[in-house]
Amino acid sequence: SQQGEEDPQALSIQEGENATMNCSYKTSINNLQWYRQNSGRGLVHLILIRSNEREKHSGRLRVTLDTSKKSSSLLITASRAADTASYFCATDNDYKLSFGAGTTVTVRA
């Protein structure tokens, strides 16, 4: 069964706009990771946020984590066409990652 659930399922934005997607999960976690997947190929690791962290930045990415609400968000600022992809959150519970179904982001030129 999948622990994380991303919202929305799909997102279409104009180049230059910001994209925000959310992830909710059910059980306690060690950390939460965000991944990007292009065209059904391998997942690219974007960012890891540990359970004792609240916010983390990496380039145009900003991730927040609220363990009391069991939720996380990923913000991509100033989106580009190359950001078109599926984005997954994955919760790390002991030895395995549990993924949601992902958010498909389309950036229009």
Intra-chain end-to-end CA distance of the chain, in Å: 37
Does position 94 interact with another protein (CB under 8 A)? The reply is: yes
Q: Does 102 bind another protein (CB under 8 A)?
A: yes
Q: What is the DSSP string of 4-40?
A: -EEE-SEEEEETTS-EEEEEE-SS--SEEEEEEESTT
Supply the minimum distance, in Å, between the C-beta of residue 104 and another protein: 10
Sign of CA dihedral 55, 83, 96, 6: positive
What six digits make up the tokens of 46?
Answer: 């974007």
Regarding 99 and contact with another protein (CB under 8 A), the answer is yes
- Please tell me the total number of residues recorded for the chain in this structure: 109
Kindly state whether residue 2 participates in binding another protein, applying the rule CB under 8 A: yes
Task: Confirm or reject binding of residue 35 to another protein (CB under 8 A).
Answer: yes
Asked if 43 touches another protein (CB under 8 A), the answer is yes
Number of residues that bind another protein (CB under 8 A): 26
Residue from 33, 72, 79, 91 binding another protein (CB under 8 A)? 33
103 binds another protein (CB under 8 A): no
By the criterion CB under 8 A, which residues form the site for another protein?
1-2, 4, 30-31, 33, 35, 40-45, 48, 88, 90, 92, 94-102
